[in-house]
Amino acid sequence: MALQLSFEEKYKVIVLRDTTYAGLFYVAVKTTGIFCRPGCTARTPKAKNVLFYDTTHEAIINGYRPCKVCRPQEEVGATPAYIQQILDELEANPYQRLKDWDLRQRGVEPSQIRRWFKKHHNMTFQAYQRLYRINGAFTKISNGESITHTAYDIGFESLSGFNDSFKSTFDHAPSQEKGKSVIHLIRFTTPIGPMFAGATSSGVCLTEFTDRPMLETEFKDLKKRLNAVILPGENDHLKQLQAELAEYFAGQRKAFTVPLHTPGSAFSQSVWTLLQGIPYGTTRTYKEQAERLGKPKAIRAVGRANGLNKIAILIPCHRVLGSNGELVGYGGGMGRKKWLLDHEKQHS
């Protein structure tokens, strides 16, 4: 859907190379005949040479060809098919170990997959595989299985090697893991950018865009509050979440039913509950939210609690505006906030 911004606002986005607007509109350059995403690292064109389009289709039918740097026709942050195939293989058999030779047998250059994982998961592919195996080990040990048997079952050649790998992941020995829970973490794409989602056995505890500045802080806070470790992997809540978000972005869902797990103070919990009561397609101000809580002077506190919300879209903090109705305070970026509000208004 179209993002309602002026020419000047859109041009400022491309000057700043703001990646949070990627996929929301496209930039065509008259002098080169090329169109790009906002945030493209190619040289910024002069304003007089720029046209803006809402879709790649519009740019193409007007004679522009896609940029080879930012590849605007590809879904923002999408996982390449050859990597997705390997991820599916790992999920089916998390204890296998794919080495560089195995990757080459599948027609994949190891350095290529290594760069992708470093960019999108901040770790190498080998480290990702190790975490997948450790995830299974954590579950086995938590269920009372022998540490020694678990180590050999998941492919470690020695108990000391398993202990070292486990300690490097969890900062403690496998014999000390009792009482901790697991937050399963996935990365997936949406029309307005890739997201991370996390879920415990109780429900979804995180949905955030991968370029959110405070993401690492949120991970640390969740681990502390839930006495948990974060590991790559799916669970039923995450599968339900992806299905419901796909329906939301298609304009077919206005409310979510997937269970949520929202650790926080009593005040924050009350603010997040109130957020979920804002009807789809409507907005409120921070002042109105404070008044509905029965604490009309707590406007700043309500704003802070909004900022602490770790479950974007499902707990719709994007529906809260400043006192004059202006767009303020959204961790995913103002472009995404405006897109979400326009999307809901269109489908309400």
Q: In what order do the strands lie in the sheet with 204-209?
A: 204-209, 195-199, 181-188, 228-232
Q: Do the beta carbons of residue 237 and residue 204 sit within 8 Å? A: yes
Q: Using DSSP bridges, classify how beta strands 228-232 and 320-321 pair: parallel, antiparallel or unpaired.
A: unpaired
Residue reference for tokens 């409310």: 255
Q: Do the beta carbons of residue 257 and residue 325 sit within 8 Å? A: no
Residue (of 35, 57, 59) closest to 45 by Cα position: 35
Distant-in-sequence, close-in-space partners of 28: CB < 8 Å, separation ≥ 6: 34, 35, 50, 51, 52, 53, 59, 62, 64
Cα maximum dimension of the chain: 69
Distant-in-sequence, close-in-space partners of 344: CB < 8 Å, separation ≥ 6: 254, 280, 281, 319
Does residue 67 carry a catalytic annotation?
no
Give the whole-angstrom CA distance, residue 308 versus residue 295. Answer: 19
Q: What are phi and psi of 333, to 5 degrees?
A: 105, 145
Burial string for 69-87 (b: 16+ CB within 10 Å, else e) reads ebebeeebbebeeebeebe
Q: Which two tokens stand for residue 125?
A: 């592919």
At CA 339, angle to CA 220 and CA 73, rounded to 5? 90
The catalytic residues are 317
